Structure 1
């Protein structure tokens, strides 16, 4: 548990002041997709990405008193009065959130998900996996939907799914890196309750072992699940303004290509971090243009099956089902 907060709020957010630079450095896939948004929406999307990146750094303890800061943000979000000069930078983000009508309940669920990562994660079931992916990424889908000027609750259901799909891809590509931090997001009932330490050991061993085989099978299952959520996420494209449709389709297809690349290598590359290279992004862009023009052109009813483990969470409605 982190100790009392002794940080200066004026210094913690400064690395994220230039949101475009942050996006270009840390979010190459999203930075590529941003080109399709236009300046105004592109700048707003970069600001949201920058703040989410900042939260990730806090949760990974890359910045001092990370979890204490996130917990303090949650208190301020719930209406707690802060001393003058305290949490000023978060207040600025809340101004941005209110100006763009972002869902504060989704923001709160995101903060809760990051706080939950304080203890080393060893998820037990697919339901746990989907709840985690909703909190740390499905919520971001809702926030991004609002940033792009779409406030339709039916659209939020698909935005949640695209966020979940991307997080499942993140988990697949970062399985070894997460294990080195004591985290295992692959459900225990998928991988015979492998520990993070066992995954680390297998990642460092070039030989094929029973453990590496279990990881490979789990990643196959994980990315098959991700593809179901990508498909639902893309069905949300018709809800978005025209330029935003292309940008989100590009980001989704580029991210999905990471999983396709891992599958193409038969998951033997899992000990290293797979990325979407320039070629994959170009192919994803053409695929996205086809999606927007020919594939995902009509609004369709959201599938109840995808949210059966999420009922009761913000913007997950039984009427979607």
Structure 2
């Protein structure tokens, strides 16, 4: 880059003005869960989702000067002066963040994670995987908790875990798609350090190969790990307001069903993207209602072992009361 990028924030952000439409188009699982929130919290959750979707598009260079814009957001968060007109829409989101007492350290870590995605990812260890999942999704769990009116640090521990669980599901579902972009989020020590190119080649081959078998085993391990974090995430439901508990339980169960669908097929369809239909969402909703009514009714101590690789990051503590 020869010099600082110039851009008009309002020109780029305009497609995300209708947050409800953005959620309906791009976040079908979360849009399904939104109906359980009520209008006020549903609208606020949709605004947060739309902004996170906007950030994703910037990180993937789907919008002009994507990474430069994210870096400018980081500078504004750190107190740097930004040229007038360049970050007007981000300033508007910060007003939303302040009005809802969102964690700015968590928001900054989300930006750090997205900037880190600039380089092709080939993660090395489970610790790297969990740190990545924390930054791009665990942080969103913290932000969503606050949007729903819960600001308890103990609740944040479970919200981080639910965000991590959902991101691990995303990684499993998108393993072939990510490989086509030069990214491999499966840790190297799980898959004999397969390259993204090798995963792409295996995804294009219908026959069973040693590489496809390694991917299948890694996905099995990935989704078992996700289930551990889902369990902890659901334990945080009692911290939330009543309607929010149901909505988050529905979203979590519906997302978890994506992984269960892959497992049911013995991961043979890993080269294509697993989707959930309306029937699956209905079943997940009934399961969530049971969770809220009978399973997760009391606050429990968070298992700090789940976040041992995240010590030092915002809202992560070495032990939880």
TM-score under structure 2 length normalisation: 0.99
Could you tell me how far apart the structure 2 residues matched to 1:149 and 1:59 are? 28
Q: CA deviation at 1:7?
A: 2.0
Could you tell me how far apart the structure 2 residues matched to 1:102 and 1:147 are? 7
- Flag the 1:87–1:297 CA change in 2: closer, same or farther, 3 A: same
The match for 1:146 is 146
RMSD: 1.0
- TM-superposition CA deviations, 1:111-135 (whole Å, max 9, x none): 0000111110000000000000000
The match for 2:313 is 313
SS in 1 for 2:310: coil
Q: CA deviation at 1:2?
A: 9.1
The match for 1:35 is 35
Q: Which runs of 4+ in 1 moved over 4 A?
A: none
The match for 2:304 is 304
- TM-superposition CA deviations, 1:18-42 (whole Å, max 9, x none): 0000000000000000000000000
- TM-superposition CA deviations, 1:191-214 (whole Å, max 9, x none): 000000000000000000000000
Could you tell me how far apart the structure 1 residues matched to 2:119 and 2:255 are? 27
- Flag the 1:286–1:3 CA change in 2: closer, same or farther, 3 A: farther
Could you tell me how far apart the structure 1 residues matched to 2:3 and 2:160 are? 34
- Flag the 1:46–1:127 CA change in 2: closer, same or farther, 3 A: same
The match for 2:215 is 215
Contiguous gaps of at least 5 residues in structure 1: none
The match for 2:118 is 118
- Maintained 8 Å contact 2:168/2:222: yes
Q: CA deviation at 1:3?
A: 6.2
Is 1:172 aligned to residue 172 of structure 2?
A: yes
Could you tell me how far apart the structure 1 residues matched to 2:188 and 2:23 are? 34
The match for 1:227 is 227
Alignment length, in residue pairs? 321
- Maintained 8 Å contact 2:8/2:85: no
- TM-superposition CA deviations, 1:139-187 (whole Å, max 9, x none): 0000000000000000000000000000000000000000000000000
Q: CA deviation at 1:319?
A: 3.2
Could you tell me how far apart the structure 2 residues matched to 1:205 and 1:319 are? 46
The match for 2:78 is 78
Could you tell me how far apart the structure 1 residues matched to 2:173 and 2:131 are? 19
- TM-superposition CA deviations, 1:96-119 (whole Å, max 9, x none): 000000000000000000011111
Could you tell me how far apart the structure 1 residues matched to 2:3 and 2:245 are? 44
Could you tell me how far apart the structure 1 residues matched to 2:192 and 2:77 are? 40
SS in 1 for 2:128: helix
The match for 1:97 is 97
1:51-90 equivalences under 5 Å are: 51-90=51-90
Could you tell me how far apart the structure 2 residues matched to 1:310 and 1:104 are? 18
TM-score under structure 1 length normalisation: 0.99
